């Protein structure tokens, strides 16, 4: 399946590659100080455009990147999440960013779990990480819910080399064991 046709669905979300129509809500999220606090900081529209195009280009060149998160009930773009592995990054990451008015609904956990299934099953990754600022308590909660553990301080490449992050993560084997356990509990 080609990237434009790829779509993952969860109970409440549609995850798909970026489309041009996603840029306006993307730029709004990136201009919001609180929403952008732990993902590089707020960006003016022109800088958000470059980041948006970088993600779109990663789909073309790497065959994966963060998905647009679409709320199934409304069709609204509510964030981005999924795999991300730029040059110099400390590992293949599953990251998330959800618009502020949708925080606390479990969307990041739901979408990240679907993308973790996808990177392990379709892309064959052996492990995933999450680069999380120590002050980002909400993302630490998401990482824990996914079964990831704090592996300690990490280092990002320039221009983020001075940003303090902790590397959370888990192996494919750990994820598959948790997935099997979840499926056992779901069966009648």
Query: What domains, with CATH codes, occur in the chain?
Result: 7-186 (3.40.630.30)
Confidence of residue 43 (pLDDT cuts 50, 70, 90): very high
Per-residue confidence (pLDDT) for residue 4, from 0 to 100: 62
168 closest CA partner among 146, 185, 135: 146
Per-residue confidence (pLDDT) for residue 181, from 0 to 100: 84
Global pTM value: 0.93
Q: What is the mean pLDDT of the chain?
A: 95
C-alpha dihedral (61, 64, 67, 72), degrees to nearest 10: 120
Per-residue confidence (pLDDT) for residue 143, from 0 to 100: 98
Quick: pLDDT tens for 106-135: 999 999 999 999 999 999 999 999 999 999
Q: What is the mean pLDDT of residues 43-60?
A: 96
Q: What is the mean pLDDT of residues 84-88?
A: 95
Helices (H) and strands (E) in the chain, counts: 6, 8
- The Cα 179–Cα 92 span in angstroms is 19
Share of the chain above pLDDT 90, in %: 89
39, pLDDT greater than 60 = yes
């Amino acid at each position: 399946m080609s990237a434009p046709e790829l779509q993952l669905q969860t109970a409440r979300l549609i995850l798909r590659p970026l489309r041009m129509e996603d840029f306006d809500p993307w730029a709004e999220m990136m201009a919001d100080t609180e929403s952008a606090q732990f993902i590089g900081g707020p960006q003016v529209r022109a800088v958000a455009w470059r980041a948006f195009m970088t993600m779109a280009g990663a789909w073309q060149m790497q065959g994966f990147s963060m998905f647009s998160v679409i709320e199934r009930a409304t069709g609204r773009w509510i964030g981005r999440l999924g795999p991300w592995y730029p040059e110099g990054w400390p590992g293949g990451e599953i990251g998330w960013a959800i618009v502020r008015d949708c925080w606390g609904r479990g969307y990041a956990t739901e979408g990240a779990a679907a993308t973790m299934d996808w990177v392990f099953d379709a892309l064959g990754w052996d492990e995933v990480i999450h680069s999380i600022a120590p002050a980002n308590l909400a993302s630490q909660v998401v990482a824990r819910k996914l079964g990831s553990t704090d592996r300690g301080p990490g280092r990002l490449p320039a221009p983020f080399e001075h940003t303090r992050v902790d590397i959370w993560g888990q192996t494919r084997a750990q994820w598959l064991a948790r997935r099997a356990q979840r499926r056992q509990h779901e069966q009648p």
